[in-house]
Structure 1
Amino acid sequence: MIASLNRVVDIVEQQLAHDPAAPVEVAALARELGTTEHHLRRMFSSLAAMPLAEYVRRRRMALAAAALVSADDDLLTVAVRHGYGSAEAFGRAFRSVHGAGAGDVRRDGGPLRTQPRIRFHLSVEGSTPMDTRIVDLPAVTLIGRAARVPLVHRGENEAIAAHTASIPREETVRLAGLNDVEPHGVLAVSDDLDPDRAEGTELTYLHGVAVAHPPLADGDTDSGWDRIAVPAGTWAVFRTDGPHPQALQEAWAATATSWFPSQPWRLRPGPEIVALQEYDAEAGTAVCELWLPVEAAPR
């Protein structure tokens, strides 16, 4: 996967040099590299700490800045050459990347926040083995209480915390009693995620459990739970045991930086699930399982 990501960067650079206005077709890139758009976007975003689209935008603006400083073309010509229909739209995009106006940069030569070309490297230390198993899971239904929340990369997600706090404890206990299949335990489910995992994009968060067959309430009426139907498929399950949520967050990051690049598996679309199995509030520790939907990567 590391070689594929570096090849993506090479192709992006070649395309920007040839025609900086042309859009980068991620689906076509994925097909050329023998992977899926979903996996390519997810791995790039995880390892580069920015979506692929954002990297392309920053690199395009780096080339635009060089054109402003070194050439005599007017702002509109530079804007059109780099894919913008007006000097105003170009100016807004330029300022959002560089923190300075295009006219100011042309006059003063800066300041600039130039995005360097990325190169990916795999550092295999092997000092922290990952407790992992591969599971073929039949179709299940995730039931519970769901809400739309923004994606937050660092720190507490206040929207998720507020949603979870709003669910009565007795409801969580009732849900736990309905869990009859893997993943076991009360689940934190993230679904309908932006492919690039861009900060601030919305996702569906469900606090609930997995069941083989959705239950009905008294009188054979619908129980009222929110539901996510999960088709049969293969999952990579990562077990964590330690300070919470640090151990879980570190394992989540390590799946992208260490596990996927060295394993014959790739991510497929589907919810990402955290199963809380044990929690010691006094010690601040927990035993969790992180479930990620995967498929065999072509050899």
Structure 2
Amino acid sequence: MDWVKHLNEVINYIEKNLTDEISYDLISKIAGCSVYNFQRMFSYIADKPLSEYIRYRRLTMAAFDLLNSSDRIIDIALKYGYESQDAFSRAFKNFHGVLPSSVRTGIVQLKSCPKLSFQISIRGENQMNYQVEQWPAFKVMGILNSISTSTAFEDVPSIWENAWKDGTMKRFIENFPDYRPAGFLGIAVGGKWGNSEEMDYIIAVTSHVDVPECKHAPVLEGMTEFSYPSATWVVINADGELPKAVQDIYREFYSEWLPNSGYKLANLPVIECYLQENRQELWIAVEVD
């Protein structure tokens, strides 16, 4: 799958529809993967969520309209999808640092978010240790937490901290059978990476793997079991200090490994496996293109 081509086609689609509704479902079709997976990939390659990129591009073009046209501010606001002039003015000031009205009354400094263009980067700076495995269906047991998408990066560390305090992690340690995916699992589900107000985050351990010799661990009281189908997984070593070690691997995987691999992303959540002493694994499901 030509990831670079598909990424640039998505960017072109966004560019043509900055003044219209942008369909995340259509973006998914252009990209050839789920909305969830595309937005995860985009956020690591572009260093910003897709929703933020779209908002910044609209505010960039709105500034050009203010400079180069005599259109009313309310008309420009409506043009770029804002329901009121007040909402547009707040967003404009948050991005540019000035109110839209001041653009026409004096010399002001404005920001610009340029249109992105993607190219394959093969730097070879770091060696990514991975293996591609066909893994049978498996189940995990754990606790699902519904959190706000906008505060996910702040909420997730608190979820882990609370799990240690309230005894959840102790129960895992005393009862889990140490199946693969191994260690304590962090699984983010839904949220559309900024295009939904809520998402789910699961803290879990593997409770069963669908092979004859595997005994199904009983689900602990107060926990829920979640099932995942047989799939091909890229299992990547992400050892090192958190969160940098995991973030660096995500960026390398999406920007370098995946575009050159001949695989496309499968519609399954990414699983982060936390072992001991700064040892981590990432399980990312893929399909042959």
TM-score (norm 2): 0.82
In 1, are the aligned partners of 2:33 and 2:265 still within 8 Å (CA)?
A: no
In 2, are the aligned partners of 1:233 and 1:293 still within 8 Å (CA)?
A: yes
Identify the match of residue 105 of structure 2 among 93, 107, 110: 107
Q: Secondary structure at the match of 2:238?
A: strand
Q: Distance in 1 between matches of 2:46 and 2:124?
A: 21
Structure 1 residue 247: Cα displacement: 3.1
Do the aligned partners of residues 175 and 294 (structure 1) sit closer, same or farther apart at CA in structure 2, a change above 3 Å counting? farther
**Residue in structure 2 matched with residue 52 of structure 1 by the alignment:** 50
Residue type of the partner of 2:175? L
> Percent of aligned positions with the same letter in both sequences?
23
Q: Distance in 2 between matches of 1:144 and 1:13?
A: 42
In 2, are the aligned partners of 1:152 and 1:199 still within 8 Å (CA)?
A: no
- 1:93-150 deviation per Cα after TM superposition (whole angstroms, max 9, x unaligned): 3223222211122212423222122222332122422221122222221113443454
Do the aligned partners of residues 52 and 147 (structure 1) sit closer, same or farther apart at CA in structure 2, a change above 3 Å counting? closer
Q: Distance in 2 between matches of 1:131 and 1:211?
A: 26
**Residue in structure 1 matched with residue 130 of structure 2 by the alignment:** 132
Do the aligned partners of residues 197 and 166 (structure 1) sit closer, same or farther apart at CA in structure 2, a change above 3 Å counting? farther
In 1, are the aligned partners of 2:191 and 2:197 still within 8 Å (CA)?
A: no
**Residue in structure 2 matched with residue 258 of structure 1 by the alignment:** 256
Q: Secondary structure at the match of 1:9?
A: helix
**Residue in structure 2 matched with residue 165 of structure 1 by the alignment:** 165
Q: What root-mean-square deviation, in Å, do the aligned CA atoms of Structure 1 and Structure 2 show?
A: 2.9
Structure 1: which 5+ runs fail to align? 281-285
Residue type of the partner of 1:163? A
Identify the match of residue 26 of structure 2 among 5, 13, 28: 28
Q: Which moved more, 1:26-35 or 1:135-144?
A: 26-35
Q: Which moved more, 1:161-170 or 1:248-257?
A: 161-170
Do the aligned partners of residues 199 and 97 (structure 1) sit closer, same or farther apart at CA in structure 2, a change above 3 Å counting? farther
Residue type of the partner of 1:138? P
**Residue in structure 1 matched with residue 227 of structure 2 by the alignment:** 229
Q: Which moved more, 1:198-207 or 1:245-254?
A: 198-207
Q: Secondary structure at the match of 1:291?
A: strand
**Residue in structure 2 matched with residue 190 of structure 1 by the alignment:** 187
Structure 1 residue 238: Cα displacement: 0.4
Q: Distance in 1 between matches of 2:56 and 2:244?
A: 31
Task: Please say which structure displays the higher CA radius of gyration.
Answer: 1
Residue 10 in structure 1 maps to residue 12 in structure 2: yes
- 1:212-255 deviation per Cα after TM superposition (whole angstroms, max 9, x unaligned): 465447xxxx7432322222222110023444554333223321
In 1, are the aligned partners of 2:141 and 2:224 still within 8 Å (CA)?
A: yes
Residue 152 in structure 1 maps to residue 147 in structure 2: no
Residue type of the partner of 1:6? N
Residue type of the partner of 1:152? F
Structure 1 residue 189: Cα displacement: 1.8
Residue type of the partner of 1:174? E
Q: Secondary structure at the match of 1:13?
A: helix
TM-score (norm 1): 0.80
Residue type of the partner of 2:258? F
In 1, are the aligned partners of 2:7 and 2:31 still within 8 Å (CA)?
A: no
Q: Distance in 2 between matches of 1:107 and 1:204?
A: 48
Do the aligned partners of residues 39 and 204 (structure 1) sit closer, same or farther apart at CA in structure 2, a change above 3 Å counting? closer
Do the aligned partners of residues 230 and 36 (structure 1) sit closer, same or farther apart at CA in structure 2, a change above 3 Å counting? closer
Do the aligned partners of residues 101 and 139 (structure 1) sit closer, same or farther apart at CA in structure 2, a change above 3 Å counting? same
Do the aligned partners of residues 50 and 168 (structure 1) sit closer, same or farther apart at CA in structure 2, a change above 3 Å counting? closer
| Alignment map for 1:229-248 (pairs within 5 Å) | 229-243=227-241, 245-248=243-246
| Alignment map for 1:54-93 (pairs within 5 Å) | 54-93=52-91
**Residue in structure 1 matched with residue 174 of structure 2 by the alignment:** 174
Identify the match of residue 120 of structure 2 among 119, 122, 125: 122
**Residue in structure 1 matched with residue 286 of structure 2 by the alignment:** 294
**Residue in structure 1 matched with residue 212 of structure 2 by the alignment:** none
Q: Distance in 2 between matches of 1:201 and 1:111?
A: 35
Do the aligned partners of residues 38 and 147 (structure 1) sit closer, same or farther apart at CA in structure 2, a change above 3 Å counting? closer
